Structure 1
């Protein structure tokens, strides 16, 4: 099933608005809500604290930190996400990356890693999270960046792991180890970034004894949902939005022709109330795309499982 989610604003002064929008997403049947993780910005709520409270105030929607900041060490991250999964019936997706801004991360006190080190740490972090979930015998692990000594894994299964990989080495890790890939810089299915990056993921997946279908592509998608059609739904080659019919046609093509696994909408700041945008997204666009896809070539990219 094609995934439909919504990106939420986690400004410190807008907590009631954040709760309201998360409950709307839940009530209207969206699959997940997403928040970002930039703990060096004091005007934003902490991502995991926020997502935990949001999951506690909803009943169906999953939560995604899009993506987890590299300052969060993998052993503690594993404990956090398995706890959230256990307390919510599996309503958590783990977003991971190699670190998009190491200068900012270093301001939090972390040692700044080189690009090559960051990718190795990223791969090792995914391995550690998997080792510390799903039950089994106590784990001892000696890695380049992590050391575990006789730690019992959580019984909770590993949540789906989606990455925000950008560079070739990071994309290779995604193909080898992850369940989903979120193209960087809000690239869409017609972008050069997607066309050049997705084959690296697919080749790595195949080389690891997996299939390309094991790694869904989930798009962060800024855009407008308008009352009437737009003459130019693409701006400089990038999808920018349109009315419900234009969205349905475009996203259906993205799934059927370009293997899109899902979409996370980030509403444009164009004066349209977010409540209106979420309603159109959840009640009109998502069901129409799913119906069109099911009539042609069903896909089963699930949030959990």
Structure 2
């Protein structure tokens, strides 16, 4: 566990779309108004749907007064470091010391090459970044004698005059994930800036260890490196997964990241004004209070399950049934009735209902845990749906190509489920047993034989499973067509909207009808 004691800060991560140029500027101004410390922007110079990030930051700097600004992260292969150093220093001087420098070694190399940049291997990218940091720091160091001199493998600046110096000590934050980049962060950078969505459980701890070791070897204090994190999620009334729930849940999870993994700057990736308002008004103050209380107490919190980027195995504790025998207490997730698509795959009014529960019956803790597992599995699928929306937006903005998106989707449980067997059956049997076939352990046949009155419900659920499979195929076809159809993004979004409607409706129906029978009849 690592708490480096840095003061907390909160930022926004905005998309610099050019379809409505004033919108991103307005969001940046809103972020300042509601109390954010930092506003950052993607930097993808090869993306024609984006405004140029450094031009945008100059405009935003002129429209704001207090908020700090940064690219998240600067695309170094298309921005020569000596020029970049002067751009940063100039904007820092003009804005009164409000600019920081996020740097990345580069990605999307085909697009970089198309813009005239040089394709580099991962190792070359790290070496080029190290040289660029040398160039930038020398340009800013106006008190040193002589000109800038870096005779590197990738960057050669021989005798350039130094200056201007920034108005304040600009932080250099690296978007790092692999060991060599993490080591460079510890050796040379002022901050580590990854995105939580790109990390696996344990990556923050492993990254901190590499950074800390590299910092010590370079004669630095590991606390010299601020730990920042891009986060995304969804605000909802009920917790359904990491950063998917009420503001109090967000605050607890972010506070745990601060106290356990040393994160001191949380940057929300969202272009939704309401998300920005809630994050600033409800989440940030609560995180500050929780972290301050722990620090004041002088004790670190007990080790908690790391906040993962994968689907959680269990829902929030408040939703778990009580221990011991008693009345049925598993709470199905209700259907909120929101529909994004005009298409209706089925008529919800024709769904049959199962038998009414016996109000006098009691259920053991084991009975209720079996039923709760259905909700747990479904919550994982709901969280994956949120990830799918995020992935589609990345396709739309050019951050991820359609082929890569298909690969990601194919690894999701939502895609791997054999829907003709049933969501719960597939997920539960894969987790619980490996020595029986799904057909032998299928929960639907067991429920059917245990209570004949459930047959109409199970028949309907199986029909809906087939329909969901077809809707998933529609999403896949839309991804394939995206690269060749003029309105491909509209078609893709429409396909995902239809999936959201069908999946959320189906999961709510299945929980409503099956949680009690599972508790009553067991699993086998």
Fold match by TM threshold 0.5: yes
1:279 aligns with 2:292: no
Aligned to 2:268: 265
1:225 aligns with 235
Deviations 1:276-305 (A, max 9, x none): 21111111111121122122227xxxxxxx
Secondary structure of the corresponding residue to residue 297 of structure 1: helix
How far apart are 1:165 and its partner, in Å? 1.3
Q: Does the C-alpha gap of structure 1 residues 106 and 284 become closer, same or farther in structure 2, counting only changes over 3 Å?
A: same
d(CA) in 1 for partners of 2:146, 2:63: 34
**Distance apart, 1:88 and its partner CA:** 1.0
Structure 1 window deviating more from structure 2 (255-264 vs 153-162): it is 153-162
CA distance in structure 2 between the aligned counterparts of 1:185 and 1:288, rounded to whole angstroms: 20
Q: Which has the higher contact order (CA 8 A, sep 6+)?
A: 1
Consecutive unaligned residues of structure 2, counting only runs of 5 or more, are: 1-6, 297-524
1:185 and 1:291 map into 2 onto residues whose CA distance is 22
**Cα shift readout 1:254-277 (whole Å, capped 9, x = no counterpart):** 111221111111128xxxxx2221
Aligned to 1:51: 57
Question: Corresponding residue for 2:123?
Answer: 116
- Shift in alpha-carbon separation, 1:61–1:140, aligned structure 2, 3 A: closer
Answering whether residue 162 of structure 2 is matched by residue 159 of structure 1, we say no
The CA distance in 1 between the partners of 2:159 and 2:151, in whole Å, is 11
Counterpart CA distance in 1 for 2:196 and 2:248 is 25
| 1:246 equivalent in alignment to 2:249 | yes
- Aligned-pair RMSD on alpha carbons? 1.7
2:86 counterpart of 1:76: no
Residue by residue over 1:106-144, the C-alpha shift from the partner in whole angstroms, topping out at 9 and shown as x without a partner, is 111122222222111101111111111142134231321
Q: Which ranges in structure 1 are unaligned for 5 or more consecutive residues?
A: 235-239, 269-273, 299-305
Distance 2:128 2:173 in 1: 16
The structure with the larger Rg is 2
Q: Distance in 2 between matches of 1:166 and 1:103?
A: 21
* Aligned-partner Cα distance in 2 for 1:9–1:142: 34
Structure 1 residues 93 and 142: alpha-carbon distance in aligned structure 2, compared to 1, 3 A threshold: closer
Per the TM alignment, residue 196 of structure 1 is displaced from its structure 2 partner at its CA by 2.6
**Residue deviations 1:232-265 (CA, integer Å, cap 9, x gap):** 223xxxxx42111101111111111221111111
Aligned equivalent of 2:15, options 9, 20, 26: 9
Of Structure 1 and Structure 2, the greater strand share is in 1
What is aligned with 1:35?
A: 41
Q: Give the number of equivalent residue pairs.
A: 285
Q: State whether residues 224 and 267 of structure 1, in contact with CA within 8 Å, keep that contact through their aligned partners in structure 2.
A: no
TM-score, normalized by length of structure 2? 0.52
Residue 302 (structure 1) aligns with = none
